[in-house]
Amino acid sequence: MVAASLRLPSLTSLLFPATTRYPSALRRTVFLRNRAASSGTTASPETKSDDVPRLRSDQAVTPRSQDFNAWYLDVIASAELADYGPVRGTMVIRPYGYAIWEAIQDYLNVKFKETGHSNMYFPQFIPYSFIEKEASHVEGFSPELALVTVGGGNELEEKLVVRPTSETIVNHMFTQWIHSYRDLPLMINQWANVTRWEMRTKPFIRTLEFLWQEGHTAHATPEEAENEAKQMIEIYTRFAFEQTAIPVITGRKSKLETFAGADTTYTIEAMMGDRKALQAGTSHNLGQNFSRAFGTQFQDENGERQHVWQTSWAVSTRFVGGIIMTHGDDTGLMLPPKIAPIQVVIVPIWKKDSEKTEVLSAASSVKEVLKTAGIRVKLDDTTERTAGWKFNFWEMKGVPIRIEIGPRDVSNSSVVVSRRDIPGKAGKVFGISMEPSTLVAYVKEKLDEIQLSLLEKAISFRDSNIVDVYSYDELKAAISSGKWARGPWSASDSDEQRVKEETGATIRCFPFEQTIGTKTCLMTGNPAEEVAIFARSY
């Protein structure tokens, strides 16, 4: 077997030879240090030094099992998902990472439109006075603001906030568009960049500037707003499960963790590979908080003026980080087929020059067949790397399926198909016919299987790492073992604060899926209506 012989251990040394395609990483480390010394934008003492990544793309990624954080940063560098911008905490999203974001956009954009939302665009500069109008909003956001104070060479009389979120400017505009109940519901969305001056940053997960969508709606009744907020968290939940194979837990935030300005925040919480929680999307029932602050009113059917009921909801480029940290393994990235920029990579293999033409010709035909069938396929026909190097490279990049074609395969009119999610020989099937309809059907079936398999694996990992707890001691034991704790909770905000201080865990949510039966608060012993999920988080 040509392919098998190429997968000898010795090939590991070929993976990232001395002259690598990606030598920039080491220079970057130097660069980052230089900037840290020279630039005011890195000057804050709160900046954590562990945020400067151990970029090491001149060699294989750090095994995930050895150092999760180093692995994460290595994967981002080696798979060319993102790079650091020149300003501390900013991120350049590179084509391979951006393509994942585009897949997220494509799916959600359709769902938003199907549910009656229109895209539009609001300016990113918000007068500072707007932020101050909603009391809890200003309290939540003012420490994180970037301010424009100079424009066109002149000091501005009123400083401008670079949008951290748009509820204020949205309400300012809504007051001008909403007059009567006939103007409701008003349901819009925008794809935009937002800025939050975070001190501790991590690519995709928390950056000074990030990309997101933010939906904003206004309704005539509280019921409609509540239904909308729940509908959107449901759309996010389905998206997470079906597209990204992330089995999020959906629920309601505690009062302490609710969005600054919302009555209720719904959330999808994902368990990363290190068992920390990632808040991957939120949907807020804003009640009348912003409409009262901004005077967003309408005349109802009886001619009475009322404040509108509102929601907002968002998913960001953070989701890309969630995908990396849910599915990746020691080898690198592992992408769910539905959002993989490349679903199938074809690696042609030849030893003698006499074999090259027929192998490349067969590989090209296979590529065209798959492409025509709507499969995202790449033919790696470069001659500068060995097939073994390519195997390792595309595995590190997380491509779900590899097709190998060698001279013997060409003679047999067949190909070798390997699954990224099943390492080694077990994931490899020989003799799949090149006949177009057979091959397309086979590849599509395998893509579906991989998608499902990634989800099942993630569900199993999630469920084996959630512990039901009935006392604070049990909660502490669960958290200190790195797991999530699920237990009945009806205690106070200060008790919740105490858990955070003593264990590092917060209430991630009161899950929609609740256990049946009488419950007793794990902290106070008082009756409890719900279980909460506690975890350390990003």
Q: Which of residues 326-385 bind its own copies (CB under 8 A)?
A: 384
Contact assessment for residue 133 and residue 293, using Cβ atoms and an 8 Å cutoff: yes
Q: Does 115 bind its own copies (CB under 8 A)?
A: no
Q: Which of residues 31-70 bind its own copies (CB under 8 A)?
A: 31, 39-41, 43-44
Tell me which of 10, 49, 154, 464 binds its own copies, using CB under 8 A. 154
Give the nearest distance from C-beta 376 to its own copies in angstroms: 12
Tell me which of 76, 79, 100, 162 binds its own copies, using CB under 8 A. 162
- CB closer to its own copies out of 41 and 221: 41
Give the nearest distance from C-beta 122 to its own copies in angstroms: 5
Compose the 199-228 pattern: x for residues touching its own copies by CB under 8 A, - for all others.
Answer: x--------xx-x-----------------
Tell me which of 29, 59, 69, 159 binds its own copies, using CB under 8 A. 159
Stretch touching its own copies by CB under 8 A, among 68-76, 82-90, 362-370, 465-473 = 82-90
Q: Does 299 bind its own copies (CB under 8 A)?
A: no
Smallest CA-to-CA distance from 532 within 499, 325, 501, 312 is with 499
Stretch touching its own copies by CB under 8 A, among 197-205, 415-423, 459-467, 468-476 = 197-205
Q: How big is the chain, counted in residues?
A: 538
Helix axes 493-503, 472-480, angle to 10 degrees: 40
Retrieve residue 154's tokens: 């002149």
Q: What values do phi and psi take at 317, rounded to 5?
A: -60, -15
b/e burial code for range 140-153 (CB count within 10 A of at least 16 → b): bbeeebeeeeeeee
Distance CA 307, CA 502 (A): 42
Give the nearest distance from C-beta 494 to its own copies in angstroms: 27
Tell me which of 29, 142, 386, 465 binds its own copies, using CB under 8 A. 142
Contact assessment for residue 289 and residue 262, using Cβ atoms and an 8 Å cutoff: yes
Going by DSSP bridges, is the β-strand pair 484-488/466-468 parallel, antiparallel, or unpaired? Answer: parallel
Q: Does 517 bind its own copies (CB under 8 A)?
A: no
Give the nearest distance from C-beta 39 to its own copies in angstroms: 5
Retrieve residue 151's tokens: 């424009």
- CB closer to its own copies out of 209 and 404: 209
Beta bridge partners of 484: 466
Q: Does 110 bind its own copies (CB under 8 A)?
A: no
Contact assessment for residue 501 and residue 470, using Cβ atoms and an 8 Å cutoff: no
Give the nearest distance from C-beta 256 to its own copies in angstroms: 22
Q: Does 23 bind its own copies (CB under 8 A)?
A: yes
Tell me which of 93, 325, 491, 532 binds its own copies, using CB under 8 A. 93
Q: Considering CB under 8 A, how many residues would be counted as binding its own copies?
A: 75
Distance CA 298, CA 301 (A): 10
Q: Does 262 bind its own copies (CB under 8 A)?
A: no
In which residue are the tokens 């079906």 written? Answer: 242
Q: Does 92 bind its own copies (CB under 8 A)?
A: yes
Retrieve residue 208's tokens: 């000074």
Going by DSSP bridges, is the β-strand pair 209-219/249-252 parallel, antiparallel, or unpaired? Answer: unpaired
Question: Measured between alpha carbons, how far is residue 227 from residues 18, 188, 224, 250 in Å?
Answer: 58, 16, 5, 15
- CB closer to its own copies out of 33 and 179: 179
Q: Does 95 bind its own copies (CB under 8 A)?
A: yes
Question: Measured between alpha carbons, how far is residue 515 from residues 129, 132, 151 in Å?
Answer: 46, 41, 56
